[in-house]
């Protein structure tokens, strides 16, 4: 079925000219700077280009990152950093905290921030594709893969690059551990939503669907917990989304667990499981309304009107009525007061991030090219830092209106 995902805004950045008058002493170094400038501008353009696909994004990102690597790592593959690492100041906004940028004079900060935006692009691409009418099996696979790629990029940044920053991330900023962890887990949870839709359409065993839904609900709960100590002013809307999805997939788990119990002639327990599904669905419905009314980064939509949401409500209602009918005619079992414990473990379909690595330095980086950057000729006031309150223009993202929802399954 078509899906609905919450998305925070892209990070915005100040232009970078890569002009180092006096420092650049040869045509090879000048060419590197020109290529950095054009490849960065190209990558930023693609973030908002609706015709961009994963292959175009990967090529553009690799082109820029391979050039930027010469500003970060030494060319002899030793652990020594490049002499150019601190030559340029970079400014980036955060997905939650408005348009006041963070600024660091560090190429590693640029690598991480741009990498973060590439991961965000994959999530937004997946969201656009998942919301289409009549999504094909190949498109569903691309949604699934894009979310796993995004999770892999976020994970790689968190584990391998953010620890290298000289200036640690401030509280509530994108590069802080709590936020990046929430992004990783959300990507995994959303990819599992695609798996669940596929399992339902192929009529897999209700036990497997219940287990996958339960694991997905746990992912959403874990992501919400990661954000729990952040300021509500900028995290409340995102947390409402994570909480409503947790309730939604818990309802799914109880609904399909009820079907498993019914198939085992445990009709009383099945009814109790379906009653619990009804309870969690009602919670999700209330959270949908709260989500729509909560101010903060993210889209303004009414998720409770989305077919993926309404479809579950009908399924819970119909399954509960079926169980109650059969209990009245056949089983005559007592309905327990306590809801069944969901101790479900999925053996198949669990999502792991796709491992990610930045490309190696471009072949244009040679010892001669690096030597053509003469830092002794750098102007004295070149390291003057900008005012932190300087505003960076927000990214003008294309306005994607939800397409008419036909209720088709992802296949």
User: How much is the pLDDT for 194?
Assistant: 92
Q: For residue 97, how far is the Cα from the chain centroid?
A: 17
Structural contact between residues 92 and 102, judged by C-beta atoms closer than 8 angstroms? yes
In which band, very low, low, confident or very high, does the pLDDT at 240 lie, cut at 50, 70 and 90? Answer: very high
Q: Is the pLDDT of residue 43 over 70?
A: yes
pLDDT tens, position by position, 48-104? 999 999 999 999 999 999 999 999 998 876 668 999 999 999 999 999 987 789 999
pLDDT tens, position by position, 184-194? 999 999 999 99
pLDDT tens, position by position, 165-202? 999 988 889 999 999 999 999 999 999 999 998 898 88
Q: Which of the residue ranges 212-226, 252-266, 330-344 would you say has the lowest mean pLDDT?
A: 330-344
In which band, very low, low, confident or very high, does the pLDDT at 396 lie, cut at 50, 70 and 90? Answer: confident
| Residue 236 CB neighbour total at 10 angstroms | 18
Place of tokens 């007592």: 334
Q: Is the pLDDT of residue 385 over 70?
A: no
Place of tokens 């054009």: 38
Structural domains in the chain, CATH included, are 1-203+352-410 (1.25.40.280)
Q: What is the CA radius of gyration of the chain?
A: 25
Burial 267-292 (b: 16+ CB within 10 A, else e): bbbbbbbbbbbbbbbebbbebbeebb
Could you give the CA distance from residue 246 to residue 345 in angstroms, rounded to a whole number? 16
């Amino acid at each position: 079925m078509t899906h609905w995902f919450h998305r925070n805004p892209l990070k915005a950045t100040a232009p970078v000219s890569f002009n180092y008058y006096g420092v650049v002493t040869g045509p090879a170094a000048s060419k590197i700077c020109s290529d950095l400038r054009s490849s960065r501008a190209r990558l930023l353009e693609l973030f908002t280009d609706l015709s961009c696909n994963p292959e175009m994004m990967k090529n553009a990102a690799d082109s820029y990152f391979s050039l930027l690597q010469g500003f970060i790592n030494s060319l002899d593959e030793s652990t020594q950093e490049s002499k150019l690492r601190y030559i340029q100041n970079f400014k980036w906004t955060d997905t939650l905290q408005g348009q006041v940028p963070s600024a660091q004079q560090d190429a590693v900060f640029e690598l991480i921030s741009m990498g973060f935006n590439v991961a965000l692009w994959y999530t937004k691409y997946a969201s656009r594709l998942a919301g289409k009418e009549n999504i094909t099996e190949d498109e569903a696979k691309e949604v699934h893969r894009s979310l796993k790629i995004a999770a892999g990029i976020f994970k790689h940044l968190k584990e391998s690059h953010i620890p290298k920053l000289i200036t640690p991330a401030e509280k509530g900023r994108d590069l802080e551990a709590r936020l990046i962890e929430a992004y990783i887990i959300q990507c995994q949870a959303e990819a599992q939503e695609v798996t669940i839709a596929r399992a339902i359409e192929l009529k897999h065993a209700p036990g497997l669907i219940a287990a996958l839904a339960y694991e997905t609900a746990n992912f959403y709960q874990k992501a919400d917990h990661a954000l729990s100590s952040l300021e509500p002013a900028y995290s409340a809307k995102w947390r409402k989304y994570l909480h409503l999805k947790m309730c939604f997939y818990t309802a799914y788990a109880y609904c399909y667990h009820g079907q498993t119990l019914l198939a085992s002639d445990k009709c009383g327990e099945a009814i109790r499981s379906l009653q619990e599904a009804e309870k969690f669905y009602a919670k999700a419905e209330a959270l949908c309304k709260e989500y729509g009314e909560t101010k903060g980064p993210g889209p303004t939509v009414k998720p409770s009107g989305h077919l993926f949401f309404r479809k579950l409500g009908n399924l819970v209602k119909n399954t509960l009525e079926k169980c109650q009918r059969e209990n009245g005619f056949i089983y005559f079992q007592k309905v327990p007061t306590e809801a069944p414990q969901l101790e479900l473990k999925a053996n198949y379909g669990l999502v792991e991030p796709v491992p990610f690595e930045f490309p190696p330095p471009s072949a244009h980086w040679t010892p001669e090219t690096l030597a053509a950057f003469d830092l002794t000729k750098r102007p004295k006031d070149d390291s003057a830092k900008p005012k932190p309150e300087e505003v960076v223009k927000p990214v003008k993202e294309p306005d994607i209106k939800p397409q008419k929802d036909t209720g088709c399954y992802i296949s």
